[in-house]
Structure formats: C-alpha cells, structure tokens
Copies of this chain bind each other. A is one copy, B any other.
C-alpha cells in the first residue's frame, strides 16, 4: 500500500542474480534462470537492466561498495597506520573468502570479454585500492625519496591478497595446511610491503 513493492522485482532480480552467482558461478548465470527463480519472464529483466552485462555491472558495483564499507569499517578502530594496514588486509581477505563468487565477478572477469564496459564503473574499484594506498603512504611518510612508487607498492600488496583469495577459493590449497596459520602468514607477508627497504638496497642485498 505504501508501495514498498514497486521496486520489488528489480531488487529480487538482483538478489537472485547474486544468489545464482554465489551458488553456481558466473558461467551458470543466465537471464532465463534468474527469471525462473524470481518468478517473472526473462523479458522482464530487461525492463530493469539493459542487458546481461548491465546486470553484472550492477552486481560488481554492489560488491565494490560492500567491500569498501567493510574495509573502512575494519580500519576505524586502528589508530596506528600499521595496525590499520593489518586490519585492512584481514578485512580484504575476509571479504574475498566469504563472498567468493562476488569476488570473482568483481576481480576476475576480464574486461575485454565484456562487450560494453562502462569505464566509470572502475572508479569505485579504484577507491578500494586507494584506501590501501593512503594507509601505505602514512606508514612510509618519511622516506618519500627513496621508496618505490606508492602505486606500485599498493599493487604488489594487492597481488598478495588477491592471490590468497583466489587460490583458496579455487580450492587449490593443500588441505593439510592449517588455514588459520596460512592466513596469518599471508597477512604478515603482505605487511612486509610496508617494511620494505628502498629498491636499491633490495637489489644489492635482498636478504640479510
């Protein structure tokens, strides 16, 4: 009556799309299947999303926002940059491991495979990296001259986290390995980005 239902179908569609995606993966996500599950015709989906890509973009968007929230929430209690960074890493891993298919659409889809990719959608994605960048910058604040580019460092940090999430989600990890310790070590290793000596030193004598 107070029309909380006028947007129902649209959100049901997104809900169901997310569900199918999470449960069965990207390749099983079809318009028809969503429609069947949500109780409308495939055609109706097109009333709300111009095409399948648009629907997926909405999902990605949603995921990026969710991740951003989780990252920001996790970083709040930490007042020291390094602690903040550790919290961020943990939050990122958590998000990726708890929302594996979400994560997959967000970070594993190859853009060249999406016909129409709205560049604008990447902005929100970058925002998440910037959260890491800023914290990393705070840690390294003193020695701007000698450290490698902040963008590069952030990306390398991202590599670690992303590798952890995707390999674990793809069940590529030996089951005999203790999951908790693995995650701890992954975080520790990631944090070493923050402790890296300058690249010149690195090259000459990487270990000590």
Binding site for B on A (CB under 8 A): 24-25, 27, 82, 86, 107-113, 125-126, 139, 148-149, 151-153, 155-156, 158-164, 166-167, 169-174, 176-178, 181-182, 184-186, 188-189, 191-196, 199, 202-203, 206-208
Contact = CB atoms under 8 A, between A and B. Distances in A.
Nearest to A202: B188
Contacts of A194: 206-207
A166 B166 contact: yes
Contact of A159 (B108, B126, B176, B186): B186
A89 B189 CA distance: 16
Contacts of A158: 163, 167
A196 B206 contact: no
B110 A169 contact: yes
Contacts of A192: 189, 192, 196, 206
The list of the 10 closest CB pairs from A to B, nearest first, reads A163-B163, A159-B163, A195-B207, A162-B163, A159-B164, A188-B202, A156-B189, A156-B185, A160-B160, A191-B206
A46 to B, nearest CB: 11
B189 A113 contact: no
Contacts of A171: 110-112
Contact of A113 (B27, B82, B126, B188): B27
